[in-house]
Structure 1
Amino acid sequence: MNHRQFWNLVQSRWIVLVAFALVGLIAGAGYSLATPREYSAESELFVSVAGIDNTSDLAQGGAFSQQQARNYSQIATKQLVLAPVISSLGLTSSVKSLALNVSVTVPLNTSIISIVVTDSSPVGAANIANAVATSLVDEVIKLVPKKSDGTTPVRLKPLQNATPPSDPSAPNAGISLLLGLLAGVLAGLVLIILREMATTRVRSTDQILEIADVPILATVVYDRGTARSPLLKAELQSIARSEEFRRLRTNLLAINGSDSRLAVLITSSIPREGKSVTAANLAIAMAATGRAVCLVDADLRTPAIALLFGLDTTGAGLADVLASGTDVTDALQLWGSTTLSILPSGSVPPNASELIGSKAAVALIARLRQEFEVVIIDSPALLPVTDGAILASIVGGTLLVVGAGRVEGRELRRSLEALDSADGSLVGTVFNRAPARSHGRFRASYVPKPRRRLRRPPRLSPT
């Protein structure tokens, strides 16, 4: 997965990331609320050397006091310092447990000893910090040898007494929320990447081009309104979806070259990739140019065309023409005042594959090609049944609809193999329900070029 595919995946799964981020924030807030409050108080001691009279002694004394400050800091958490603190304050903790809450440091190049104590009470933290400082001073006086006059060469004096803090030092609500947010986003990223690796669903034009060696003739962006109004208006208003079907129309006609007759099969790898809506809207776009168009619903198992156009579903259709010899002119229905004629599926037959592969089907397609300038056939998906592959071997060319996030890469490969085995002519793909960002990138970086002409079906006498 390259960086662009990763970014596309993140954009397509942003809801998952937002959900995990919210969960992380809630977890961080919960941790912050559930964790007991801790308060930190700091006291400071200053180490100095007595009896310094000149500059040279001052420099040496400064270095010596810094060394001694580091030495004294090492005994501040020992028993000889902490035991008196426990006794004087009446603490119930042991020396070992108290030492865990006492942090003693010496800032770089200073003679200052910083004593930080953490406790569940702000007053307790301040009292313990001051008591540790006092006890350390007392123990240093005992440890340092005295001069003949009874004074000590090193002095340890309080520099700053600890005061009760107003705010807790832990938990830090901001850090807890930030860590929760980052953990949530990271968990979301891991989930969508693992899921993507497991499913390998096709979500970009790059994936299609890696699998299928044919041009992408159109990228139809996902539109929530399609479910309510799947068909384009006959006038093809200037909307993005209409523009893509104009583009598809132009590309198909360009591939067909000088041939004035066009026959194309619309199929997909699996159901619910949008092949029927694609076939219907392509037929509308073709009819908008004034061409005589015939849209055939050859999905005899799960027909959809008549329902999409609101046509009579009880009358004769393709199955009746193939099975009982009904004349095709009696089964065709004209859509409004357009040049689009529709051949519904008709009665649902028990032997769909046999009808689709019959000589009558071959002859019918040949006749429709003679009577119409454009013939568009909506077929079943390729993988569930053999009907689509059979039709692909009869019709001049096949257009494969690829539903974004619906079909897996292995399924797309299998459908291409099925077309190849049936000697079908795949002229291109339509990337359907694509994320909006794919539309702009497709236009900017990929202009489909014709690679093969639509193959004419066998020249048979009309029936």
Structure 2
Amino acid sequence: MSEALDISADAWRAPDVKRYIAMLSRWWWLFLAGAAIAGTGAYFITRTIAPTYQATTTLIINQVETPGSIVYSDVLTSERLTQTYRELITKRPVLEAVVKEVDDPNLTVGQLSSKLNTTAVKDTQLVTISVRDQSPERAAHLANTVAEVFVQTESADAITRTGTTRIVEPASVPGAPISPNMRLNIAMAVALGLLLAGGVALLVEHMDDTVKSSEDVRFAAGLATLGEVGRLPHDKDRIPLSSRGLPMHEAETFAILRTNVEFSSIAHPARVILVTSASSGDGKSTTASNFAIACAEAGKAVALVDADLRRPTLHRAFNLDNSSGLTSLLLQNAAVDAEALKPTTHPNLFVVPSGPLPPNPAELLGWSGFDAVIEQIKSRVDLVVVDSPPLLAVADARILAAKADATILVAAQSVTRGGALRAAHDALARANANVLGVVINKVKRGRGGYGYSYYYNRAYGAYAGDAGERVRTPRSITPLIASAAARAGNGVRNGELGALGVDRHRDANSG
């Protein structure tokens, strides 16, 4: 039965702030382009808009009951009258008188009304008259004319015979336009551009259901992440191996994978481990080969079996003859001897190539003779690593998963879709396979990457130069180790943990 490690989501999930920072690092160019395009557009559009100037005249309203004396009630009355006068200034009789006074054939009452704005200053006896126009001189002239006409009109009105309305501050010619505001328009456009860019980035991230991090793996398939492997340099004919000049930190990721696999199966040690993927191109053969090398470097005798009887690659990776191999052992019912386990340049690592390709791979792998061959290989080595075809393409991998002690799924970052990974896990569950977890392959290293890979890369430089120091496990892997050790119970001794390169007390307290 497929078994997912019991790890709390909080132990694996990075803070949302870090996820947004990572998204910003991936989409920085979109934010930059959005801000630049919006800001540039706002600049040129603002340049085409004619400037508008505003001039303001201020009136004071004094209403008294008794000429020559002012009491508190007079002040209250004057404050109330400011609201009335503010409305009266904008009415047609005053505006028609202003139009006649200006004597401009192009100025109408409607145009003047659209340019005019009056305000009663709160808790005062002041009324402001503001006029906006594309000519600063014209704006000042109209504001003063409106004020003068209204003062003359009110002086002739009987209601104001015991008070005065006068101009306390005439309008002056404005030196700078009130609109458009170049800086404000550009700032608002840049903010809008950033907002739109963020929306596009979030939409694309939401619609992109490919696996990118351990959180995506857990959400899609409910499985733990055993490790993250970066993009490895290789040519089209040969898969990259840790013996071919891989960066040291990438080679060490397979040592970490080996440690995590041993811990995840510590309760029931696995002798036969299948490495497969949902689709082709995810890097299962590369992962299987380098995982086998890492196990061999730990002192185990490892047999790497190429059970991909449709598109085998391991014989090219290790420069081996493929004229005989797994299919030869099955069809000829031959015993597994030293000649069948082909040695490699890696100590303790042996490869069983696929051999001649059969017309019926699934039937051949499901035959009981395959079980017998695997048992013979197990008797000669400590660990058998099996490379298989993709799960969703053919039935071969499901047959092999049912026969293996444990299965490792490989997913390519930003390539493998969550639905495909979920379907692969469901297929393994139906085959009653023991799925240890997922290896995220082709991880993009750097600040824009996902998961713990960037932080591991930075921390790696602190100890990579010490050849005598053991492989350290990143903090985000510690919950995986702790969970597996907890399931194993007290049967795990400190000495066994130390043999796997992990200090139990140190890692338990590092989280």
Q: Match of 1:281, SS?
A: helix
Q: 2: distance between equivalents of 1:436 and 1:216?
A: 13
CA drift of 1:389 comes to: 0.8
Unaligned runs of 5+ in 1: 454-463
Given the superposition, is the C-alpha separation of residues 253 and 169 from structure 1 closer, same or farther in structure 2, using an over 3 Å criterion?
Answer: same
Q: Deviations over 1:222-244 (max 9, x none)?
A: x45656894334899752x3443
Percent identity over the alignment?
27
**Number of matched residues?**
444
Does 2:150 match 1:118? no
Does 2:162 match 1:162? no
Match for 2:30 among 8, 19, 31?
A: 19
Q: 2: distance between equivalents of 1:8 and 1:272?
A: 29
Q: 1: distance between equivalents of 2:181 and 2:340?
A: 75
Q: 1: distance between equivalents of 2:105 and 2:376?
A: 102
Q: Match of 2:480, SS?
A: coil
Q: Deviations over 1:113-149 (max 9, x none)?
A: 23333333444434433333334333433446353xx
Match for 1:381 among 384, 387, 390?
A: 390
Given the superposition, is the C-alpha separation of residues 79 and 318 from structure 1 closer, same or farther in structure 2, using an over 3 Å criterion?
Answer: farther
Given the superposition, is the C-alpha separation of residues 114 and 447 from structure 1 closer, same or farther in structure 2, using an over 3 Å criterion?
Answer: farther
CA drift of 1:394 comes to: 1.6
2:58 corresponds to which residue?
Answer: 45
2:40 corresponds to which residue?
Answer: 29
Pairing 1:27-176 to 2, within 5 Å after superposition: 27-35=38-46, 36-49=49-62, 57-87=70-100, 88=102, 90=104, 92=106, 94-143=108-157, 145=159, 147=161, 153-166=163-176, 168-176=177-185
CA drift of 1:322 comes to: 4.3
CA drift of 1:54 comes to: 12
1:391 corresponds to which residue?
Answer: 400
Q: 2: distance between equivalents of 1:354 and 1:184?
A: 59
1:431 corresponds to which residue?
Answer: 440
Q: 2: distance between equivalents of 1:425 and 1:13?
A: 34
Q: 2: distance between equivalents of 1:55 and 1:346?
A: 121
Match for 1:446 among 473, 479, 503?
A: 479
Q: 2: distance between equivalents of 1:26 and 1:57?
A: 62
- Aligned 8 A contact 1:43 1:129 in 2: yes
Letter in 2 for 1:128: L
Letter in 2 for 1:450: A
Q: 2: distance between equivalents of 1:93 and 1:345?
A: 94
Q: Deviations over 1:145-191 (max 9, x none)?
A: 353xxxx612221414132332x433333333343334334334444
Match for 2:364 among 355, 360, 368?
A: 355
Q: 2: distance between equivalents of 1:129 and 1:327?
A: 109
Q: 1: distance between equivalents of 2:240 and 2:112?
A: 73
Q: 2: distance between equivalents of 1:285 and 1:215?
A: 21
Given the superposition, is the C-alpha separation of residues 260 and 52 from structure 1 closer, same or farther in structure 2, using an over 3 Å criterion?
Answer: closer
Q: Match of 2:484, SS?
A: coil
Match for 1:364 among 373, 377, 382?
A: 373
Letter in 1 for 2:286: V
Q: Deviations over 1:225-282 (max 9, x none)?
A: 656894334899752x344322221122234448887321111222333322222221
Letter in 2 for 1:131: T
CA drift of 1:420 comes to: 1.6
Does 2:319 match 1:311? yes
CA drift of 1:397 comes to: 0.9
- Aligned 8 A contact 1:21 1:182 in 2: no
- Aligned 8 A contact 1:236 1:285 in 2: no
- Aligned 8 A contact 1:295 1:375 in 2: yes
* Structure 1, 168-177 or 53-62: larger mean CA deviation: 53-62
Q: Deviations over 1:386-420 (max 9, x none)?
A: 11111101222101123333333332222122112
Aligned-pair RMSD on alpha carbons? 3.9
1:281 corresponds to which residue?
Answer: 290
Q: Deviations over 1:94-127 (max 9, x none)?
A: 4334423332222322233233333334444344
1:418 corresponds to which residue?
Answer: 427
Given the superposition, is the C-alpha separation of residues 6 and 70 from structure 1 closer, same or farther in structure 2, using an over 3 Å criterion?
Answer: same
CA drift of 1:10 comes to: 3.5
Q: 1: distance between equivalents of 2:78 and 2:201?
A: 59
CA drift of 1:84 comes to: 4.2
Letter in 1 for 2:167: K
Using the size of structure 2 for normalisation, the TM-score is 0.73
- Aligned 8 A contact 1:105 1:114 in 2: yes
Q: Match of 2:190, SS?
A: helix
Does 2:196 match 1:205? no
Letter in 2 for 1:19: L
- Aligned 8 A contact 2:277 2:391 in 1: yes
- Aligned 8 A contact 2:54 2:132 in 1: yes
- Aligned 8 A contact 1:38 1:171 in 2: yes
Using the size of structure 1 for normalisation, the TM-score is 0.79
CA drift of 1:315 comes to: 4.9
- Aligned 8 A contact 1:316 1:330 in 2: no
CA drift of 1:316 comes to: 4.2
Q: 1: distance between equivalents of 2:109 and 2:292?
A: 87
- Aligned 8 A contact 1:17 1:189 in 2: no
Pairing 1:159-308 to 2, within 5 Å after superposition: 159-166=169-176, 168-212=177-221, 214-218=223-227, 220=228, 223=230, 226=233, 230-233=240-243, 239=249, 241-257=250-266, 262-307=271-316
Q: 1: distance between equivalents of 2:85 and 2:43?
A: 36
Letter in 2 for 1:22: A
